[in-house]
Amino acid sequence: MASRYISIRHLRFLLYEVFDALALRRFPAFEAYDQAAFDMTLDAAQQIGDTYLFPYYREMDRQKAVYQDGEVRVHHSIKTAMQVFGEGGWISATDTLEAGGQQMPLTLFNAALMIFYAANSNTPPHAFLTQGAARLLRSFASEELQSRFVPHMYSGRWQGTMALTEPQAGSSLSDILTTATPHPDGYYLIKGQKIFISGGDHNAVDNVVHLMLARIEGAPPGAKGISLFVVPKYRQEGDTMVFNDVTTAGIYGKMGQKGYVAAHLQIGEHDDCRGWLVGAPHKGLAYMFQMMNEARIGTGLMASATASGAYYAALEYARQRPQGRHPSNKDLSLPQVPIIEHADVRRMLLFQKSIIEGSFALLLQCSLYADLEKHAQGAEQRKAHLLLELLTPVAKSFPSEMSNLAVSAGMQCLGGAGYCDDFPLEQYYRDIRVNSIYEGTTTIHGIDLLGRKVMMENGEAAALFAQEISEAVQQAMPYPALQPLALALGNAAGQLQQATLHLFQLAAKEPAEVFLADATLYLEYFGYVAIAWQWLLMATAAQKALNEGAQHRDFYEGKILTAQYFMEYELPKTQGLHQRLTSDARITTRIQSPHFD
């Protein structure tokens, strides 16, 4: 059942047994999505992964994207994959039938995305960043603008990007300086610099469409004066495509994801870059957040899927590599045992499995909330909306941070071989590291969670989260084997609530610097609880299946053992975090620059 890079069986388990994603058929938009449609989608995704993605993963690291003679050249397989994604309807998949999409539930689509990213974390981002950009146009641009850009993007012939970052404006988007000067013909003249633009220019597509933040002359300072523009590399004039004065100044020498270019763009060097306003002026940042929120889930997804690829490589090695003997039987006349026989190797594999499968679960949980946010109504809709808002920073950051460690554990399973390029672990290790930087560093998400989300709507989101956990605990308690797991989660969640309370008492009497000082650790704490919640859901589904006499008992027992691993080895890490977060010792707000020498 396991492929060489992901367990499709695990995805089916999540979709059908843990989340009952087939129940989405109750919404008219999704009525076509029965289990056959789900299975077919996953099979088709695996086919693409096996054929167009996985075979080129390592090659595109060695034949990396290069900038030469003014052109960015990427691996040839990217062009083919863009066509496959475009012609197969993957880029438009979640859009409506009327718009040429497939009305695919995001829950199913993101499961497919896990397959793509696990097969190759360098190629699919081209297509699905394009999807995000197109959806942004679909949500906020005029029909006329949509018709000029979206079909080309959905077909995979034009690349879409998010063009936010500038040399002086990274985490601080308020400081964007790119200017937009209105022109009587209805467009704006754009001028500025954008850096770190993923997919920002390359030869696998005919055009690049930047969804770009800029300031209209005279706009108010800060976030309230930022507008969103669509700025193509080539613009249509009559029947021809004309260069739109978006120049690639260079590309970045990234440690990993070398197949996926990040470009430095000069916009309007010759005062001839035209951009078209998307939606209303000065609302750009709010619009962009739609794309960013999707991209954040996408980043957590890319991280855990990349870790999945690394895990299956490490697992294969651990099963094949003979080394050493059992501690209680070191008879040298016996052959060496495969290293998967050693407890510490199993621990490292369990760590990886618990992080990857737990993250996949959390990400599909969020995807389900996103589907419900869009299609459900009333209290169900509101609940889904609030939980998605609350969990987005967690689902972005915790998988990104932990997947770095998971791949490191995978590398460690291989010893010296893991550090060398005869095996893929070293590439996974380099590739995966960017996810805790993409779409806002972990710092930013910690502040988002603690500073905004936990108290949004008077704490309603946080209360709903506690309620979800409480329900999970209640559903697990009837199964004796799961009681210790349920109690562990219940305790940790209760402790988290206490720590939250402590922090909000702090917020009432101390400046924001103090309240938010350890927001990153709060996010980590929250992440452990959220993943433990998902593991309890999975363990409960697995126990049900076992009790009902399901086949593939190893599969289900593996879920329960991994849930036990997470509760025994990972969740206790919240204890140290709890102590820190409830301590009144101020260090990071007291220390000053000269103390660091």
Site for a second copy in 512-551 (CB under 8 A): 512-513, 516-521
Please state, as a whole number, how many other Cβ atoms lie within 10 Å of the Cβ of residue 591.
Answer: 10
User: Binding to a second copy by residue 437, rule CB under 8 A?
Assistant: yes
Residues within window 312-331 making contact with a second copy, judged by CB under 8 A? 315, 319, 322-328
Nearer to a second copy, 212 or 517 (CB): 517
Closest CA to 441 of 169, 163, 199, 171: 171
- In 3-state terms, what secondary structure has residue 427? helix
Of positions 135, 152, 235, 433, contacts a second copy by CB under 8 A? 433
Selected range binding a second copy among 19-27, 121-129, 204-212, 409-417, rule: CB under 8 A: 409-417
Of positions 34, 59, 71, 568, contacts a second copy by CB under 8 A? 568
Closest CA to 357 of 18, 1, 22, 41: 18
Q: How far is the CB of 432 from a second copy (least distance, A)?
A: 11
User: Binding to a second copy by residue 353, rule CB under 8 A?
Assistant: yes
H or E segment and range at residue 507:
helix 483-509
Nearer to a second copy, 55 or 576 (CB): 576
User: Binding to a second copy by residue 594, rule CB under 8 A?
Assistant: yes
Of positions 412, 470, 475, 497, contacts a second copy by CB under 8 A? 412
User: Binding to a second copy by residue 588, rule CB under 8 A?
Assistant: yes
Selected range binding a second copy among 89-97, 117-125, 153-161, 428-436, rule: CB under 8 A: 428-436
Nearer to a second copy, 84 or 411 (CB): 411
Instruction: Select which of 357, 426, 439, 570 is catalytic.
Output: 439
Of positions 79, 194, 235, 254, contacts a second copy by CB under 8 A? 254
User: Binding to a second copy by residue 597, rule CB under 8 A?
Assistant: yes
Strand partners, 162: 211
Residues within window 462-521 making contact with a second copy, judged by CB under 8 A? 484, 511-513, 516-521
Nearer to a second copy, 241 or 521 (CB): 521
Q: How far is the CB of 105 from a second copy (least distance, A)?
A: 26
Classify the phi-psi angles of 235: left when phi > 0, otherwise alpha if psi is within -120 to 50, otherwise beta: beta
Selected range binding a second copy among 76-84, 150-158, 277-285, 414-422, rule: CB under 8 A: 414-422
CA distance to 42, 69, 134, 530, per residue, from 113 (Å): 9, 34, 17, 22
Q: Is residue 179 within 8 Å of 231, Cβ to Cβ?
A: no
Of positions 88, 100, 222, 281, contacts a second copy by CB under 8 A? 222
Report how far residue 126's alpha carbon sits from residue 260's, in angstroms, rounded to the nearest whole number. Answer: 8
Tokens of 483: 């009681």
User: Binding to a second copy by residue 336, rule CB under 8 A?
Assistant: yes
Write out the DSSP string of 532-589.
HHHHHHHHHHHHHHHHTT-S-HHHHHHHHHHHHHIIIIITTHHHHHHHHHT-----TT
Q: How far is the CB of 463 from a second copy (least distance, A)?
A: 25
Selected range binding a second copy among 66-74, 137-145, 185-193, 333-341, rule: CB under 8 A: 333-341
User: Binding to a second copy by residue 415, rule CB under 8 A?
Assistant: yes
Degrees to nearest 5, angle at CA 310 with 294 and 338: 155
User: Binding to a second copy by residue 397, rule CB under 8 A?
Assistant: no
Of positions 436, 500, 534, 540, contacts a second copy by CB under 8 A? 436
User: Binding to a second copy by residue 587, rule CB under 8 A?
Assistant: yes
- Amino acid letter for position 248: T
User: Binding to a second copy by residue 66, rule CB under 8 A?
Assistant: no
> Is residue 389 among the annotated active site residues?
no
Report how far residue 417's alpha carbon sits from residue 4's, in angstroms, rounded to the nearest whole number. Answer: 18
Residue 173: partners with Cβ closer than 8 Å, 6 or more residues away: 164, 213, 223, 226, 285
Tokens of 85: 């994604």
Strand partners, 214: 227
Task: Read off the DSSP letter of residue 126.
Answer: H
Q: Is residue 182 within 8 Å of 216, Cβ to Cβ?
A: yes
Nearer to a second copy, 73 or 325 (CB): 325
- Amino acid letter for position 466: A
Could you give the residue numbers annotated as active site?
439
